[in-house]
Structure 1
Amino acid sequence: MRGITSCRPREGTIDLLTDLSEDQLATYRSTQTAPDGFDEFWAETLAEAAKHDIDVRLSEVETGLETISTYDVRFRGFSGQEVAAWLRVPAHATGPLPAVVQYVGYGGGRGHALENLLWASAGFAHLQMDTRGQGSGWSLGVTADEAPAQPQVPGVMTRGILDPATYYYRRMFTDAVRAVDAARSLDTVDSSRVAVVGGSQGGGNALAVAGLRSDLAAVVAFVPFLSDFPRALRVTESYPYKEIIDYLVVHRPDVEAVHRTLQFFDGVNFAARATAPALFSAALRDTVCPPSTVFGSFHEYGGEKEIEVWPYNGHEGGGIFDEERALRFLRGRLGDA
């Protein structure tokens, strides 16, 4: 563990925080625990998914770009259901290349083929997974969430939340694990040099995959969502966490069942099982993913780890500076193409 990197406020400035101070974050520990059967639940879930051939299908997309080749990708995720992605690779690359598998923030999908060109421009094979049932909040998506309809608050946070077997994130996290399988199956990818990357919900996905796989070269989780649910539901009134609060306002008898389900999907519990080197980021004015929730997972993370802290920022975190830091980090862990 390399510790905490922070752009600290100048001495004497007023530090208006929305959560704990940096000193408190350094010693904070989550109260979340792994439920009985956690490992068995996920082993069975992934074993069921593995019964379906990954069935990766590529179709080149004409984008007009000269330096990047882009492919529409389809593969089989949870229960063999079709999941979309983009694959972007440096044009005329001979491979095999180090690969970045990227997951998307809440409400977003894989976006447009001309978006998100950083990783391929840097020489990586870049697989950007679509997000089932989302992709209409702020970026395009095409993947359906094939699941029985149940009462829920608008959004996906409470979809199937009364049982781990039916909860939305069981399907999404399984898709995320299978996206790594899809990337590793490609001739253009060096299967020994695959990293996962994401911010917010995408960071939560990255932590889940890190806890469920032992073959990752690196993990990057910017201001990760879906971490330390017990803390998040006490300290923030921001969405998407507030979807769960809104649900429990109405479904008063279901508090225990909801919290039990969330134990199976908490980044804290995945982090404790992870071993790949990881880079986190947190922002001290983040009301969407409060920094204490990020540190809840960071402190439990089982592999080598470091974290960037942004004292003046909200949920945007370090923005382009996070990406710049991640590029250096992944170059060090994955090497050049």
Structure 2
Amino acid sequence: MRLNTKLIFDKKSGNSADVNLCLLSLLKEAGINASPLLLSTRDNGMHPGLPVLTAFNNVIVKAEVGEKTILLDATDKHHAVDLIAYKSLNHEGLEVDLDTETSKWISLERPKVSGKSYSYMLTMDEANKLTGKLYISSTDYEGLRRRDEYTSATNQADFIKSYKSDKPGLNLKNYEILNLDNPDEALTESMDIEVEDNIEEGGNLAFFTPLLYEKTKENPFKLEDRKFPVDFGYPTEETFRISIELPKNYVVDKLPKSEKFSLPEQSATFSIIFSQSENMVGLISKISIRKSVFTPEEYFDLKELFKNIVRKQAEQIVIKKS
């Protein structure tokens, strides 16, 4: 079967399938073994397991480069190689061999973990105001999501305004973003921050949650039972590192207990470590979802894991004036 994209090039316009068929044509011209991959997007529903053309609504490209198999989607410049659109992560696609006119099912699940990490380095003054630096690093799908948020804003000031909108007491300046146009690298952000009105006082005690803005506030899993799988789309890891230097006239009165929770076979884990050294307090929190799909039988354990995430991330450090 011959691939003819002349009409698409002549029109100089087309849908996502047209764009990727043009990419397929160029790869074949370059001598790269490539095939179209038919799929049903997430909002279109899962395919029925049979090669019924009406069940598919998108086309991407599968290519063999050396020993490696990669999936390509040319419709978004922010997509790195082998990082297809989130909407396309729908379990399986149908590879069509144009030379032999045969087809086979190909897994669309990507084993690579998409990460997001926050690092706060803060100092508390005697008025309980926090000042310092915040660094954010986002990779793969998390980086893609963040790039989309940034580029969809009117300008950087609009992006910062949106970022601050659900973070009461936060002021920031000297914002910098790196690798915005380089999706193969981690997207990194840095900023100077001030945080006010996030510490409660009672007598000579002060109470605060080290996870200032990013804690998981409620359990997303509320049903008692579930009949369908839980589909995260891709594996993720979210890490928070927070260090706070206390005023010299404060001592730690209560530090929450460090704990770790795991699902069978470490398919999902949560750990939180509280630490203290002289006038420094710290926290490291890590949530790892190591696979995309969890069965209904795994639902209860997953629900319990997130119950513990909500509980532990809300715990407060108590400090006392000495």
TM-score, normalised to structure 2, is: 0.23
Larger C-alpha radius of gyration, 1 or 2? 2
Higher strand share: 2
Higher helix share: 1
TM-score, normalised to structure 1, is: 0.23
Higher relative contact order (CA 8 A, sep 6+): 1
